[in-house]
Structure 1
Amino acid sequence: MKPIYQRLNLFIDGQDAYTFVPVEPVGAQSLTIHRATGDIVLNAPNTPVHPTASRYGKTIYGILGMISLALSEYVIVMTGREHRARLMGHDIYRAADFDILPLNPNVSVQNPPHPVEGHLLALVRSHLFGGHFLFSYGWDLSRRLQAQWQDRDNEGRMALWEVADDRFFWNKFLQSRLADTDIAHDLSPYILPIIYGTFDMRTVYIHGHRIQLCLISRRSRYRAGTRYFRRGIDHEGHVANFNETEQILLVDEKAAGRLSLAENLTHKLSFTQIRGSVPVFWAEVNTLRYKPDLQVMDLQETVDMIKVHLRDQVSQYGSQSLINLVNQKGHELPVKEAYERAISQIEFPDVKYQYFDFHNECKHMRWDRISVLIEKMQEDLVQQGYFHLDTAQDKAVHMQTGVVRTNCMDNLDRTNVVQAALAKWTLNQQLKAIGVVSDNEELEDFEALTRGFREMWADHADLISKAYAGSGALKTDFTRTNRRTKIGALQDGYKSLTRYIKNNYFDGARQDGFDLVTGAWTPQKNPVTSSSLIADTRPLIIRSVPYILSFALFMICAGLTLPRTSDYSLLYYFMLWFVIASLAVMFMMVHGIEYVSWPRLIPPTDIIYYKGPGFRSAHNGKGLTGPLAQKLDLSGQSNGFGARLLLNGRKRALTVTGMEEGTKKRVD
């Protein structure tokens, strides 16, 4: 496999060109990007740098790709990296720092000449620094161990980006400018693929065996986004928050005292699981209430899209065991029913459905009840197996013939607990199969391994949750300690509050960052037509109410410091401002969707204003409706104030943004 240059020196030739020169090997072909035309040129070996070029002050550890915004195209480079571990003889890094270099010499990244360009740059920068990106210069992090083994004879001299799993090649859109050129194969040493996910590795010793336990998760770039703005399935069969999680076990059967390298380990075992949103068309519409309005859209193509989704998973992994953890009553029930209705219409011999009432089975902190699900899944786990490569014989002893697909409502907290339990059961079977532990021993008998296992899975859960929901995962106290605690429950309350704040007030911009960097939305080359991206087009009264609330709260606080002649001297003063504050809060809740931070690049207007068949728990946050609203001329039917604010204000702004700003679907 062609190696990727690990360090580059960047030379800037005034306003003419960027030239990237590999530090090693000396004399390798340098890469020049001409700023005026955007042309990419691979120079001949030992080509000297132009004498007028000045060296950039930072070492470049990789080119993430190029992105075109409203006023300029930009080169995104990595200027900082963090070493995580060494896997299979290759170093694994996390991307830690980035620089954005404009091709247009008249554009400054620090002081963009137009606010729209500044806004788009801020979205790119926020996405880069807010994500958890991993890479290796010589190991394909995007593919599980079994897939690499199966394709080993076909790779030949192919480069990393050419063999990377398309779903997890996070910067594929950014790299398209290099990968789509006629000299793409020759540019391979400069094309660095990264994944958005997690990576952890722990080393322990058991009975003289050197054990390396590694956990990798890979997040799909399709239907990528945040918790409430990416739910369910799309019209191409992709589901939200799809993650592949691989647990790798490396075992050296020699004495632990011998110096051993990872690539010389005798046994290499892998167990893969997947998670993804409930594969029907559904959403939760934010309204500032703690529980958003649940909406299930009963579309004609629902069953067809589930078939597309499951057919793709079967082709990738083999048989599918679907574990559904969505509650069977209350707020989540309609999603469970829609899922099961669709599954009942599908006849796939390689797909099995298993429901587990997580909250009912594990209520009162009885988390040991997860064993009930393990017992139900044991036959499938044994049948699907795991991948086992015996390097001494250079053959695969076992192949994993299927995966467990787990989902809850968010595919986070309950899913994390169940996936960790399945991984623990499988790890125990693997260690016994290769003779590291005896039949009468269990994983819990080895404290160092058990502690490392729990910490890895808890950290993994936190990172996946932060990427999707904005906070660490819930229930990780059980993953870390194997028991549920009251302290953990209090921490979960704090995390839930953090999620509420971020999901309602910050995730719109985060979603825009996902859509911009993955190429789901591309801007036009005219910032004037994109002015609605930064303009607040809501009516004045909608914008003014938060200021009225803030002023009322300020006056209440100020009243606490005012002198008084008696206990009742300020009674009417406080009553006045409490009434004003209360009315402001009520107004904001009634018009809740006007105060949610919605995505502006691809606004979800088709979901917010959906009127087709299906289920909708409520229509909160859309202004006053009903007989009272009609009497006061506030309803949408009477074209009154409440509906007119919504439809003529936010809806128009979102629609214009989505349809006229260059929205288009990515095609790879």
Structure 2
Amino acid sequence: MQVLHKRLNLYIDPASYTFTPAEASAGARSLTIQRDSGEIVLNAPNVSASPAGQRSAKTIYGILGIISLTLTDYIIVLTGRELRGRLMGQDIYRATEYEILPVDPRASVQHPAHPVEAHLLALVRSHLDNGYFFFSYGWDLTRRLQAQWAARQSDEGKALWQVADDRFFWNKYLHSKFIDTTTADPNQDLSSYILPIMYGTFDIRSAYVNGYHLRLCLISRRSRYRAGTRYFRRGIDHDGHVANFNETEQLVLVDPKLNEGRSTSDEASTKLSFVQIRGSIPVFWAEVNNLRYKPDLQVMDYPDTANAMRKHFEEMISHYGAQDLVNLVNHKGHEQPVKEQYERYVAQLGLPDVRYEYFDFHTECRHMRWERISLLIEKLQSDLTKNGYFHLDATSTEPIQVQKGVVRTNCMDNLDRTNVTQAAIAKWTLNRQLRVIGVLKDDDSIDYHESLSKDFREMWADHADLISIAYAGTGALKTDFTRTGQRTKSGALEDGYKSVMRYLKNNYFDGPRQDAYDLMTGVWVPRRGPSSALFLIIDSRPLIIRSVPYLAFLSVFMILAGLTLPRTSQYSLFYYFLIWFTLFALSMAFIFAHGIDYVSWPRLLPPTEVIHYHGSGFQSARKGRGIGIPALDVGKLRSGAGAGAQWLAKGRKRAGSKLEEIEMGTKKRLD
């Protein structure tokens, strides 16, 4: 496999950026990016940096790619990394610090020349600062062990980016210019500078069990397709990609039996891998935020629903083999329509390698009886045994066993119930694996080995938290059971706090977070000229919608003033408080009646088609959408009275005619 540069020196001058390998080897070639044209050039071997270039004080640990915004391109480089462990003899790092370099020498990252550019740069920074990105210079983190073993011959001589799993190559869009240059001209092979990163989780821990040294590793890989936040990315798209898709691999590396305390090499004699997947229910559905705790549920019965679901399952079968679909949503109430739509289309498709298993998690495990998850495992046991796991032993040239299928688990968010279920399945499989290879006896269990059991619980709980933070904005619920094996009242109270924080973040903060996902993965591509994206900084809501919150704040201020300020007369304040309490109550009633207009919606790709959908399917009570607002055409879909959030579409149409003087000022400063 081609070698990636682990450290780079950066030389900056007004005409170019030049990256040179810090650990120079024979034939090493530096990389220059011309700042006037954006041209990427791989220099001849042993060509030094430009004498006029000033060397950056920071060491560069990799180039994450180039992103184009409305004024110029920006190079994103990695300036900080944290070693998280070693896997298969290779160091695994988490990216911790970044620097954004403007290609145009007249542009400034700290003081952008236009508010639109400043807004987009803020999205880039927030995504980098809040994401969990992992990478290795010598091991492909994007592919599970079985896939790498199967492709070991075809991978010979290829670069990491060429063999990476396209779904989990998170910065592939950012590296598109490097990849295009490499593909177009073999003499300009930039592979040594293309560093694939994975968005997900990584944890590896050592343990000693019955004289064996084990390393337990947990990796979760998040798909870059249909990526986003909890309420703004649900269900499936027309290409068969589902929201919040994660592949989770549990690895067990076992060394030969030895005396406890002795060090071992990185190469284990036995390698075990078990993979599970999760993803949103693969039908077209959404939950429309309206400031209420339970958003409006919308199930859209499009003509190509069956075709989209078929694409999804065929892709899953091609990657993993047979599918056991475990559905954990409630059988009644708010979640029932999504369950019924899912079951209807699974039955309609009738795919031979797809088996559906429903488990009413909340009913079966009510009153904190979480141990009843064993009932589901009993139903899956025959398939878990048949589909198996990947088992590679140093004494054999071929695998002892390969995994022939996976369990695909979902609840409503694919977070809390899914985490508990996947952890239970992983524990059952780990016990089985260790018994097969002789680490545990038939009557033994990891529960009887406190150190291993504790590490297992903590790894799965941390993994659950990180996936939940990426999707919902808070740690996962029910992790007290994952960490301790018991459901506690303090855990329930903590879950209540997390639920409140999820409500606040999902309604008031997730719009920009979704925009950052769409920008960084290339779902939305900026055009040159800030006027094309002025809708990002314009509040297009009607004046009355914008003004009512200020009236509510004023009412609160006046009420507090009446309660705290010293009085200068003996007159009753009854009517004073009556007026301001009435104004506050009316303001809040108006806000919740038009709640959809106060949600922090994504601006780059607003979900107008979902909000204004009136086709076949299921629609819950359309709360918080106002009363008597005129209908708005959105493509061929027409909304009814009180559709709400009409400004999302109108603002984009009017954006080009506003703030023209700002753009003119920008052009003057850059010229």
TM-score (norm 1): 0.94
Equivalent residue, structure 2, for 1:159: 159
Give the letter for the 2:15 counterpart: D
Equivalent residue, structure 1, for 2:662: none
Residues in 1 aligned to 2:422 and 2:655: alpha-carbon distance in whole angstroms: 40
Equivalent residue, structure 2, for 1:340: 343
Aligned: 1:97 with 2:100: no
8 Å CA contact retained: 1:594, 1:650? no
Equivalent residue, structure 1, for 2:30: 30
Aligned: 1:516 with 2:519: yes
Give the letter for the 2:206 counterpart: T
Equivalent residue, structure 2, for 1:139: 139
8 Å CA contact retained: 2:9, 2:59? yes
Equivalent residue, structure 2, for 1:128: 128
Instruction: Name the SS of the counterpart of 2:277 in structure 1.
Output: strand
Equivalent residue, structure 2, for 1:287: 290
8 Å CA contact retained: 2:611, 2:643? no
Aligned: 1:245 with 2:245: no
Following superposition, the deviation at residue 153 of structure 1 comes to 1.0
Moved more, 522-531 or 214-223: 522-531
Following superposition, the deviation at residue 258 of structure 1 comes to 7.3
Residues in 2 aligned to 1:526 and 1:369: alpha-carbon distance in whole angstroms: 58
Of the candidates 439, 442, 448, which is equivalent to residue 442 of structure 2?
439
Following superposition, the deviation at residue 529 of structure 1 comes to 2.6
Residues in 2 aligned to 1:482 and 1:647: alpha-carbon distance in whole angstroms: 45
Instruction: Name the SS of the counterpart of 2:104 in structure 1.
Output: coil
8 Å CA contact retained: 1:539, 1:645? no
Of the candidates 631, 649, 652, which is equivalent to residue 651 of structure 1?
649
Instruction: Name the SS of the counterpart of 1:363 in structure 2.
Output: coil
Residues in 2 aligned to 1:250 and 1:451: alpha-carbon distance in whole angstroms: 18
Residues in 1 aligned to 2:570 and 2:439: alpha-carbon distance in whole angstroms: 77
Residues in 2 aligned to 1:74 and 1:24: alpha-carbon distance in whole angstroms: 25
Q: In the superposition, relative to structure 1, how do residues 186 and 322 fare at CA in structure 2: closer, same or farther (>3 Å)?
A: same
Q: In the superposition, relative to structure 1, how do residues 635 and 539 fare at CA in structure 2: closer, same or farther (>3 Å)?
A: closer
Equivalent residue, structure 1, for 2:17: 18
Instruction: Name the SS of the counterpart of 2:604 in structure 1.
Output: coil
Offset from partner CA, 1:497-516 (integer Å, 9 cap, x none)? 11111101111100000000
Equivalent residue, structure 2, for 1:663: none
Residues in 2 aligned to 1:654 and 1:515: alpha-carbon distance in whole angstroms: 17
| C-alpha RMSD of matched pairs (Å) | 1.9
8 Å CA contact retained: 1:212, 1:250? yes
Equivalent residue, structure 1, for 2:173: 173
Give the letter for the 1:176 counterpart: S
Q: In the superposition, relative to structure 1, how do residues 418 and 644 fare at CA in structure 2: closer, same or farther (>3 Å)?
A: closer
Q: In the superposition, relative to structure 1, how do residues 567 and 270 fare at CA in structure 2: closer, same or farther (>3 Å)?
A: farther
Residues in 2 aligned to 1:166 and 1:655: alpha-carbon distance in whole angstroms: 35
8 Å CA contact retained: 2:248, 2:277? yes
Of the candidates 269, 284, 298, which is equivalent to residue 301 of structure 2?
298
TM-score (norm 2): 0.94
Structure 1 segment 491-530 matched on structure 2, within 5 A: 491-530=494-533
8 Å CA contact retained: 2:538, 2:655? no
8 Å CA contact retained: 1:88, 1:262? no
Aligned: 1:559 with 2:566: no
Structure 1 segment 183-582 matched on structure 2, within 5 A: 183=185, 186-257=189-260, 259-563=262-566, 569-582=572-585
8 Å CA contact retained: 2:244, 2:278? yes
8 Å CA contact retained: 2:251, 2:274? yes
Residues in 2 aligned to 1:36 and 1:448: alpha-carbon distance in whole angstroms: 58
Offset from partner CA, 1:504-550 (integer Å, 9 cap, x none)? 11111000000000000101101023211111111111111111111
Residues in 2 aligned to 1:647 and 1:388: alpha-carbon distance in whole angstroms: 53
Residues in 1 aligned to 2:206 and 2:561: alpha-carbon distance in whole angstroms: 59
8 Å CA contact retained: 2:127, 2:513? yes
Following superposition, the deviation at residue 36 of structure 1 comes to 0.6
Q: In the superposition, relative to structure 1, how do residues 645 and 441 fare at CA in structure 2: closer, same or farther (>3 Å)?
A: closer
Q: In the superposition, relative to structure 1, how do residues 95 and 183 fare at CA in structure 2: closer, same or farther (>3 Å)?
A: farther
8 Å CA contact retained: 2:612, 2:643? no
Give the letter for the 1:134 counterpart: F
Give the letter for the 1:32 counterpart: T
Offset from partner CA, 1:177-235 (integer Å, 9 cap, x none)? 10111246721110000000000011010111100000000000000000000000000
Q: In the superposition, relative to structure 1, how do residues 635 and 447 fare at CA in structure 2: closer, same or farther (>3 Å)?
A: same
Offset from partner CA, 1:321-374 (integer Å, 9 cap, x none)? 000001000000000000011111012111100000000000000001001001
Offset from partner CA, 1:112-145 (integer Å, 9 cap, x none)? 0000111111111111111100000000000000
Q: In the superposition, relative to structure 1, how do residues 429 and 645 fare at CA in structure 2: closer, same or farther (>3 Å)?
A: closer
Residues in 1 aligned to 2:253 and 2:126: alpha-carbon distance in whole angstroms: 36
Instruction: Name the SS of the counterpart of 1:93 in structure 2.
Output: strand
Q: In the superposition, relative to structure 1, how do residues 567 and 163 fare at CA in structure 2: closer, same or farther (>3 Å)?
A: farther
Following superposition, the deviation at residue 622 of structure 1 comes to 1.5
Q: How many residues align?
A: 646
Instruction: Name the SS of the counterpart of 2:173 in structure 1.
Output: helix
Following superposition, the deviation at residue 263 of structure 1 comes to 3.4
Give the letter for the 2:478 counterpart: K
Residues in 1 aligned to 2:652 and 2:459: alpha-carbon distance in whole angstroms: 41
8 Å CA contact retained: 1:600, 1:657? no
Structure 1 segment 607-622 matched on structure 2, within 5 A: 607-622=610-625
Structure 1 segment 571-650 matched on structure 2, within 5 A: 571-625=574-628, 636=631, 646=644, 649-650=647-648
Instruction: Name the SS of the counterpart of 1:82 in structure 2.
Output: strand
Equivalent residue, structure 2, for 1:60: 60
Residues in 1 aligned to 2:570 and 2:314: alpha-carbon distance in whole angstroms: 73
Instruction: Name the SS of the counterpart of 1:420 in structure 2.
Output: helix
Following superposition, the deviation at residue 598 of structure 1 comes to 0.6
Give the letter for the 1:18 counterpart: Y
Residues in 2 aligned to 1:451 and 1:611: alpha-carbon distance in whole angstroms: 51
Give the letter for the 2:77 counterpart: V
Q: In the superposition, relative to structure 1, how do residues 656 and 212 fare at CA in structure 2: closer, same or farther (>3 Å)?
A: farther
Q: In the superposition, relative to structure 1, how do residues 654 and 531 fare at CA in structure 2: closer, same or farther (>3 Å)?
A: closer
Q: In the superposition, relative to structure 1, how do residues 359 and 84 fare at CA in structure 2: closer, same or farther (>3 Å)?
A: same
Give the letter for the 1:517 counterpart: M
Residues in 2 aligned to 1:250 and 1:656: alpha-carbon distance in whole angstroms: 59
Equivalent residue, structure 2, for 1:664: none
Give the letter for the 1:141 counterpart: L
Q: In the superposition, relative to structure 1, how do residues 624 and 461 fare at CA in structure 2: closer, same or farther (>3 Å)?
A: same
Following superposition, the deviation at residue 264 of structure 1 comes to 2.6
Following superposition, the deviation at residue 551 of structure 1 comes to 1.1
Residues in 1 aligned to 2:596 and 2:617: alpha-carbon distance in whole angstroms: 21
Identity %: 62
Equivalent residue, structure 1, for 2:637: none
Offset from partner CA, 1:622-656 (integer Å, 9 cap, x none)? 2114xxxxxxxx5659xxxx969947634312566
Give the letter for the 2:647 counterpart: G
Give the letter for the 1:325 counterpart: L
Instruction: Name the SS of the counterpart of 1:496 in structure 2.
Output: helix
Instruction: Name the SS of the counterpart of 1:306 in structure 2.
Output: helix
Following superposition, the deviation at residue 74 of structure 1 comes to 0.8
8 Å CA contact retained: 2:300, 2:616? yes
Residues in 2 aligned to 1:358 and 1:477: alpha-carbon distance in whole angstroms: 17
Moved more, 44-53 or 304-313: 44-53
Instruction: Name the SS of the counterpart of 1:112 in structure 2.
Output: coil
8 Å CA contact retained: 2:74, 2:100? yes
Q: In the superposition, relative to structure 1, how do residues 79 and 352 fare at CA in structure 2: closer, same or farther (>3 Å)?
A: same
